[in-house]
Amino acid sequence: MRLILVPQKQSLATLVAVLVEAGSKYESKKQNGISHFLEHMCFKGTAKRPGAMDIAKDLDSLGAQYNAFTSQEYTSYYVKARNEVFDESLEIIADLYLNPTLQTPEIEKEKGVIVGEINMYEDMPQRKVWDVFMELLYGDQPAGWNIAGPKENVKAFTREDFVNYRSRHYVAQATTLVVAGGFNEKGVVEKIEKYFAGLHRAPKGTKLAVKERQARPQETVSFKKSDQTHLVMGFRAFDVFDGRKYALQVLADILGGGMSSRLWQVIREEMGAAYYVGASPDLYSDHGLVAMSAGVHHEKAKPAVTAGLKEFARLKTELVSPNELTRAKDHLIGNFFLSLETSDQLGYFYGGQEVMRMKLKDPKKVAASIKAVTAEDIRHVARQLFTPKALNFAVVGPFKKGAFQKILSL
């Protein structure tokens, strides 16, 4: 197990977080959704705390904030509580991570909860459109599947499925523990060794490499009678280890990173077409993308798409001005540092790097990498990525298939 300690003497609280390399990209099609389901089941009882209420009572009695989440690349469990109860937080997080009982009656009950969660996201078009977009890009492979999985899988999972999956992935070499905040550093490693002594040691299950296939612009429409059209439009990029990621971050900030960004000014302020509009990169261990998203009035959906394409194209031909470049960097760095103000955010900044097997960089080095980006770097990456054949467009709204095809040109 890898351990990261982030002492902050001024902090009144401490985060204890476990991150494990077990997300939806580690699943087969039949298993799709099991990483997320297992995350739920770890809170349903251990040998020491037989029921979900026993875990919740112990955590609530600490005044703790606690939860878990599952992504494509990893699953994480965390407890954040005042420094004085660090030992108790550590023991509980170790217990639920190492010793879930995975009882069949609890599994059967939780199936209804997860189906309800899937239904909830289906009713959130601003969330649903991203699932549609990922499926468009990656198709029938783990990167294109929904993290929660299809309802049919959820309803079919058995206790044996969880035990087998967990034995392949919840192992020492795939586990990172992060402790961040005002904890007492004396004896902390010994305590961690004590509570995590039972961590399973075994070879780590692998994941399939993402296959990239695209020869022409792609469009997909998910018809929904909604009050607003939600769209995502973007391009394939590169993985999180690529040195061009800092230029891409600055590019995305210029494009749609704030209220002074180009997309905000054009689509919201000038056209009055949207309430929300933005752009961001999304980079993974072996693939990546950069995209804009917006919620627009139905009648202004096509003009908004055209305006967005124009802004993508501008970045390929025009050099960003010195003032705009500086403003974007300052905005990006400022927001980045603000995002690290609390112990949990700082802990996940380091833990997220470690679980992805990245070389750890502290915030100042990240800021230096952003500051080093030039206007030429931005134009270069735009020319590499913003090609007609790499364009992808997904929309959730009252439109028919092919409704946007004629305007999807760069």
Whether 267 and 393 map to the same domain: the answer is: yes
Q: Note whether residue 210 is domain-resident.
A: no
- Is residue 137, in this structure, part of any structural domain at all? yes
Q: Are residues 136 and 272 in the same domain?
A: no
Q: Verify that 167 and 51 share a domain, yes or no.
A: yes
- pLDDT for the residue 258: 92
Query: Quick check: is 312 in a domain?
Result: yes
According to the model, what pLDDT value does residue 409 have? 87
Is the domain of 125 the same as that of 249? no
**Within a domain: residue 96?**
yes
Structure confidence by residue, pLDDT tens digits, 172-207: 999 999 999 999 999 999 999 999 999 999 999 899
> What pLDDT score does 371 carry?
98
Is the domain of 330 the same as that of 383?
A: yes
What tens digit of pLDDT does each residue of 347-380 get?
999 999 999 999 999 999 999 999 999 999 999 9
SS3 for the chain is: CEEEEEECCCCCEEEEEEEECCCHHHCCCCCCCHHHHHHHHCCCCECCCCCHHHHHHHHHCCCCEEEEEECCCCEEEEEEEEHHHHHHHHHHHHHHHHCECCCHHHHHHHHHHHHHHHHHHHCCHHHHHHHHHHHHHHCCCHHHCCCCCCHHHHHHCCHHHHHHHHHHHCCHHHEEEEEEECCCCCCHHHHHHHHCCCCCCCCCCCCCCCCCCCCCCEEEEEECCCCCEEEEEEEECCCCCCCCHHHHHHHHHHHHCCCCCHHHHHHHHHCCCEEEEEEEEEECCCCEEEEEEEEECHHHHHHHHHHHHHHHHHHHHCCCCHHHHHHHHHHHHHHHHHCCCCHHHHHHHHHHHHHCCCCCCCHHHHHHHHHCCCHHHHHHHHHHHCCHHHEEEEEEECCCCCCCHHHCCC
84/124 same-domain check: yes
CATH number of the domain enclosing 345: 3.30.830.10
Containing structural domain, residue 353: 218-407
**Predicted TM-score (pTM) of this structure:** 0.95
Tell me how many domains the chain contains: 2
Q: Which of 180, 195, 210 is the last residue of a domain?
A: 195
66 plus 180 within the same structural domain: yes
Q: Report, as ranges of residue numbers, the positions in the chain whose pLDDT lies below 50.
A: none
Q: Are residues 116 and 9 in the same domain?
A: yes
Look at residue 306 and tell me if it is in a domain: yes
- Residue 256: the pLDDT is 97
Note whether 120 and 266 are same-domain residues: no
pLDDT given for residue 410 in this prediction: 83
Tell me, yes or no, whether 256 and 162 share the same domain: no
Instruction: Tell me, yes or no, whether 250 and 366 share the same domain.
Output: yes
Q: Is residue 261 part of a domain?
A: yes
- Whether residue 374 lies inside any domain: the answer is yes
